[in-house]
Structure 1
Amino acid sequence: MKFQVMHDSGVRLRIRAGQWAFTKEEGYGIASLLLEQDFIHEVFTSHRNGSILIYYDGEVENKHKIFDILSAITIDDLFEAEPTQTQVSKEITDDFYLKLSKMIGRRLLGRWFLPLPIKNALTIYRAIRYVWEGFDSLTDFRIDVALLDGAAVAGALLQRQYQPASSMMFLLSISDALEDYTVQKAKSTLKDSLALNIDTVWVVGEDGEEKQVSAMDINKGDKIKIHMGDVIPVDGKVVDGEAMVNEASMTGEPLAVHKSLGKTVHAGTVIEEGNIVVEVYSMNKETRLNKIIDLIENSEELKAETQSKAEKLADSIVPYSFLATALTYLLTRNASKALSVLMVDFSCAIKLTTPLSIISAMREASDNRMMVKGGKFLEAYANADTIVFDKTGTLTNATPKVVEVIPMSKRYQRDEILRMAACIEEHFAHSIATAIVNQAEEEGLKHEEDHSEVEYIVAHGIVTEYDGKRAVIGSKHFLFDDEKVKVTKTQEKKIAKKAAEHSVVYLAIDGKLEGLICIDDPVREEAKYVIEELKALGIENIIMLTGDSESGAKAGAKALGITQYRSQVLPEDKSRIVEELKEEGKTVIMVGDGINDSPALAAADVSVSMKHSSDIAREVADISLLSDDLYDLVTLRKLSTGMLDKINSNYRNIVAVNGSLLVLGVMGVIPPSTSSMIHNLSTMMFGAMSTKSVLKDRDFTNDIEVEAVEVADAS
């Protein structure tokens, strides 16, 4: 492939291969080929001019690798593929800009070059639609925006005010295009949040052996094994094992459901505990999840909550517009003055500026690597007065480290305690287990499988049989309350001292405490500053939830400047705490990253998942942070409150300008044509202002310039 570099910012590379270089579907294939590289994050192609836009880790050798891959592609290497949801979303935006530019172009060309009789005839032709829709509302006894629009257009034509009628219909057509765009974007975002991105699965053969195959190659009747923490990729029946499955994406119920032999599971749900083998009933587009996605895609009723409020507000103003028009005519007996009132349509500006403000804010969130699943979630984030943090992985880096290993009897030495703990913990991928295993590897403490199958009890610990004896490792609550492990007074003093300084993992063999493993997970450097900023931005209540001991939680809260915290919190406690806060009348943000956080994320008014969150946390969360910077929470607050401020400011300005036009029209100071012209110009001005960036502390000039190039490419 021959190509030319058009733009290179170091992390954003645009090349152009020419108009006939590849088809639309082959462009998706090129994108999928490039996305196989770990250093490439996003790829967008345009078959119209052979443009390829690549987001990548900005290192020189990576750029050269991209050039090598593209240079090696021949015509025979091109293949067709399906677009990713990100590509679909971008195409929706490009198509909208293309449609908008065509509408503006046609209007300008018509005004400059068409003779007046033809322009008037076209105005009458376009007016038929609006008049008919208004008549339809009237016959159904609805006093709504359609009726007002139809009456205003008809009134203007009866007064031979062709130019004002044409301008009004042009603005209404832009408003309709914006509404279609916001609905399509909402559908695309929701589909993206539900879509499964699973490449491979483990198929269990007749001999019981597991084999990893492509998810596209599985068939009905195949048996696949799904492990703890994994998303279930198919609809099917459990034929072996048992598990707790979170079905929040399917049913909205945050609590996990027990699935055992013969029970049905659905694609898109996630295993919180256990492992199961599932016989495949349906896969790919036949699953229940994909049927729901199809319903969403074909629904005409999906609208952003904020946009719906704007439309209701617009409809509520209509009767007053008719009343003012009627009163003006009764008092003045002047049809021109009455028409001046009717031509001033408050609803047109409100319907135009509100979706523009939402689109602009969601686009700005995307520019800051934050995925927002709908405008209503930005609204909830802006109105929230309480934020609840899970500690590990959110306020900390989730990279805990072993700082001390303490034998609690003479039966086992320090190295043996660490070796046993690592042997048991290596089967699980949570951060504490990883810290223990890594410490053992660093010290060269190799181990063999000296234990039977392990049983993981969520948020508590692990039970297994080690060297013929029952071994348990986990929290203080798990060992001493649930397992009734014995502890001496001397041991209690040592525990109290270490637990005040660190998070502690306890190891017991045969019912006796044998060792303490002290672990620290330092807080993020930016966490304290972020919390201070959130308080300054109006979030009054900041609460930290952690499974740590009281002393460990207290030390962490003090370091972060948090006055409210809960220690030794279980997963079910997190969701209960969130529900209690909501019952107190608080609007709650929940920030988390783990499987254990999913019930609380589902319960909150608005939820946020971190970059390295589990599959289920990302699925349940309303907003996903795509960078690892906790300051994004502050940026999101500024963006969301700025969006609401912009919408409210638009309302005030629209009322002020159009109210003034009403008064001037009634007084006869300005004719209907002037009233309509000022109304239309002010509406366009408010629309332009609605697209302005909310965040003032970041320079988007370069992004805007590149976006202009992308729109030109789409054209």
Structure 2
Amino acid sequence: MYDVSGSIVFLLGLSEILEEYTVEKTKNSLENSLMININKVWIQTDDGKEIQIPFTKLKDNDKLIIRTGSLIPVDGTIISGEAAINEATMTGESLAVHKDKGKTVYAGTTVEDGNIIVNVDAINESTRINQIIEMIKKSEKAKASIQSKAEKLADSIVPWNFVITALTYLITGSSIKAISALTVDYSCAIKLATPIAIISAMREASEREIVVKGGKYLEAFATANTIIFDKTGTLTKSSPHVAKVISLGELSDDEILRQAACIEEHFPHSVATAITNEAKKRNLSHGEELHSEVEYIVAHGIVTTLIGKRTVLGSRHFVVEDEEVEITKEKQEIIEEHIDKYSVIYFGIDGVLKGIICIDDPPRDEAKEVLCKLRKLGIDNIIMLTGDSENAASTTAELLGIDEYKSQVLPEDKAHIVEEIKAKGNKVIMVGDGINDSPALSAADVSVAMKDSSDLAREVADITLLRPCLDDLVTIRLLSQQMLDLINSNYRKIVIFNTLFMLLGLSGVITPAVTSVLHNGSTMLIGLNSSRSKNFNNLKEPVIDV
């Protein structure tokens, strides 16, 4: 009797150790892609000599030498040299960024070309890359509701195990059969397999350059029936370009573009980038700043004092209605010739419209196909929101086959629209990229930030894409749905296997020791199977006719 009890206790203890190992192994595999593994580094001493030291002996304010092809292991400031640095691990940007003296570099990024000496500002746990790893660890706390339900179900089953054990002893008088019932615990397998499946799905997303902040966001993405897109930089290409600059006054086209670029260069928005890039292309340099402090009105426009005059740049609503810039009948006729094809940026000085900048922002090449695939995967409602004019919005919606859209939408209106749609019983995904999308991203059940999103949008979003491709939305949908399928499959296996083992034990066919072995063995196998990448390899997209 005691031999059997001892065996059971040993097997249960071994099972607990193996379960903990499996969970930790799954978590670690999610983090390993971001870990920095460097043994030795080169530093410059105070007398200018170069010496190699173990990485573990590197300390703050050391002068670290980093050459072409090397991984930067610390956060620091460049004190000498210049280099092209690939910051994909931090920003998702595939193109290298040029940095020289005084610029900040981050651990986990790579020097593609050049040599630099960096003053060590932060090392190990203090670096931004390790803060991201810590965020991944903490993200497990953002449990999916299905995981919480699994844990509640598991906890509710435990008392029934004791009831069945007691009834078995009272009816049969056999302590052996009663112990057999006690050794079969449904809750053990449920509590192990569900979080492992969720963490594994997050790991698979990470390997596909998709950052997910918690399991509950994958569940929400899998079950959502409505997706809302911002237009500019999301459904359209992330690099719109200037199609035309039209003067409506005494300033030349180039002068309007030069002044607009001077104002816009301070803001990380795709339209601002288009304007500044066109100015560079035309070699329109403004030299020193021409303006005083710039005020950016989110999703509206910009106000500043340029060469001593109040200057505004932005949407028609902002420039004409809010700032009361005058538009004559002749100017309006010129504008109407272009608003059907382009998004129009208005440029006014001292209450007079001086010109317009026509922005061509064609849809992404993959956008229409992605929307069709999402419909096939159960997304019933696809909605586009934009601050652009009705004509620009309708043109994009027609090209992409979107039935529902709203134009000239303000940031607070986007959030209100999301709330209205949720109030009708829909589960909403919001996809955006700009500061103006942040309120709507926060309001949605689950939000997605595009690769070139503003820092604020990335901070607010639940999921961030690190590739400039809408196809990853289909990948997330498939991945999250397969995660739920795996969890439901695990439930069925747990019920079938453990019920079978309990019946065999109650009938006396197998001993409590064998029951314990079978129960714990099946629990471990289900847990290990949940951690396998093979569960998510078949991300087969629906076949469509576009």
TM-score (norm 1): 0.57
| Structure-1 separation of matches of 2:135 and 2:323 | 48
Counterpart for residue 357 of structure 2: 517
Deviation (angstroms), 1:359: 2.4
Aligned residue for 2:167?
327
Q: Deviations over 1:254-299 (max 9, x none)?
A: xxxxxxxxxxxxxxxxxxxxxxxxxxxxx999x9x9xx99x99999
Task: Report Cα offsets for 1:472-526 as digits up to 9, x if no partner.
Answer: 2211001111111222333333323311211001122332222221111122111
**Residue identity matched to 1:603:** A
- Paired letter, 2:243: V
Mapping of residues 352-431 of structure 1, within 5 Å = 352-409=192-249, 411-431=250-270
Query: Residue in 1 aligned with 2:275?
Result: 436
Q: Specify whether residues 174 and 312 from structure 1 end up closer, same or farther in structure 2 by C-alpha distance, changes over 3 A only.
A: farther
Q: Secondary structure at the match of 1:612?
A: coil
SS at match of 1:694: helix
Residues 335 and 297 of structure 1: CA distance in aligned 2, closer, same or farther (over 3 Å):
same
Is the 8 Å Cα contact of residues 239 and 274 (structure 2) preserved in structure 1?
yes
Q: Decide whether the 8 Å contact of 2:18 with 2:524 is kept in 1.
A: no
Separation (CA, whole Å) in 2 of partners of 1:685 and 1:632: 31
1:696 to 521, 534, 537: 537
Q: Secondary structure at the match of 2:217?
A: helix
Letter in 1 for 2:276: V
Q: How does 1:416-495 map to 2 (within 5 A)?
A: 416-447=255-286, 451-453=290-292, 454-495=294-335
What does 1:553-564 align with in structure 2 at a 5 Å threshold?
553-564=393-404
Matches within 5 A, 1:492-641: 492-641=332-481
Partner residue, 2:150: 310
Q: Could you tell me whether the CA contact under 8 Å between 1:557 and 1:565 is conserved in 2?
A: yes
CA contact (8 A) 2:230 2:386 kept: yes
3-state SS in 2 of match to 1:515: strand
Paired position in structure 2 for 1:174: 18
Q: C-alpha offsets along residues 14-72 of structure 1, whole Å, 9 cap, x if unaligned?
A: xxxxxxxxxxxxxxxxxxxxxxxxxxxxxxxxxxxxxxxxxxxxxxxxxxxxxxxxxxx
CA apart distance, 1:382: 1.6
SS for the counterpart of 1:504 is strand
Rounded Cα–Cα distance in structure 2 between residues aligned with 1:678 and 1:451: 78
Say which structure, 1 or 2, has more relative contact order (CA 8 Å, 6+ apart).
2
Q: Structure 1 641/461 Cα, relative in aligned 2: closer, same or farther at 3 Å?
A: same
In structure 1, the residue corresponding to 2:536 is in which secondary structure? coil
Unaligned residue ranges in structure 1 (runs of 5+): 1-156, 190-215, 218-282, 700-715
Q: What's the CA shift string for 1:540-563, capped at 9, x where partnerless?
A: 222222221111111112222222
Distance 1:372 1:574 in 2: 23
| Alpha-carbon distance, 1:344 to partner | 1.5
Partner of 2:185: 345
Q: 3-state SS of the aligned residue for 2:191?
A: helix
What is the CA–CA distance in structure 2 between the aligned matches of 1:532 and 1:298, rounded to whole Å? Answer: 35
CA contact (8 A) 2:449 2:464 kept: yes
**1:314 CA drift (Å):** 1.3
Quickly say closer, same or farther: Cα 1:455–1:367, change in 2 above 3 A.
Answer: closer
Distance 1:518 1:363, change over 3 A: same
> Per-residue deviation at 1:451?
4.3
Q: Which residue number corresponds to residue 524 of structure 2?
A: 684
Do the aligned residues in 1 keep the contact of 2:30 with 2:202 (CA within 8 Å)?
A: no
Q: What percentage of residue pairs aligned between the two structures are identical? A: 54
Q: Deviations over 1:622-645 (max 9, x none)?
A: 222222222111111111111111
Cα separation, 1, equivalents of 2:525 and 2:310 = 74
Which residue matches 1:20? Answer: none
Partner of 1:209: none
**Aligned mates of 2:418, 2:530 — CA distance in 1:** 34
The answer as to whether partners of 2:136 and 2:213 remain within 8 angstroms in 1 is no
Q: In the aligned structure 2, how far is the partner of 1:298 from the partner of 1:655?
A: 30
**Does residue 651 in structure 1 map to residue 495 in structure 2?**
no
Amino acid at match of 1:511: G
Matches within 5 A, 1:24-35: none
**Partner Cα separation in structure 2 for residue 403 and residue 540 of structure 1:** 35
Give CA-to-partner distance per residue, 1:99-118, whole Å, 9 cap, x none.
xxxxxxxxxxxxxxxxxxxx
Contact 1:186/1:373 (<8 A) preserved: no
Sort the Cα spacing of 1:404 and 1:180 in 2 relative to 1 into closer, same or farther, 3 A.
Answer: closer
How far the C-alpha of 1:655 sits from its partner, in A, is 0.6
Q: Which residue of 2 aligns with 1:141?
A: none
Kept after mapping to 2: 8 A contact 1:486/1:512: yes
The 1:469–1:677 alpha-carbon spacing in structure 2 relative to 1, beyond 3 Å, is: closer
C-alpha contact (below 8 Å) 1:187/1:302 kept by paired residues: no
Q: Could you tell me which residue of structure 1 aligns to residue 4 of structure 2?
A: 160
CA displacement 1:413-461 (0-9 Å, x = unmatched): 4344334433443444432223223323333444466943143322222
Q: Distance in 2 between matches of 1:298 and 1:460?
A: 38
Following the alignment from structure 1 to structure 2, what is the Cα–Cα distance between the partners of residues 358 and 601?
23
330-339 vs 442-451, which deviates more?
A: 442-451
Instruction: Give structure 1 regions of 4+ aligned residues with deviation exceeding 6 angstroms.
Output: 180-189, 295-299
From the superposition, tell whether residues 455 and 319 of structure 1 become closer, same or farther in structure 2 (CA, over 3 Å).
Answer: closer
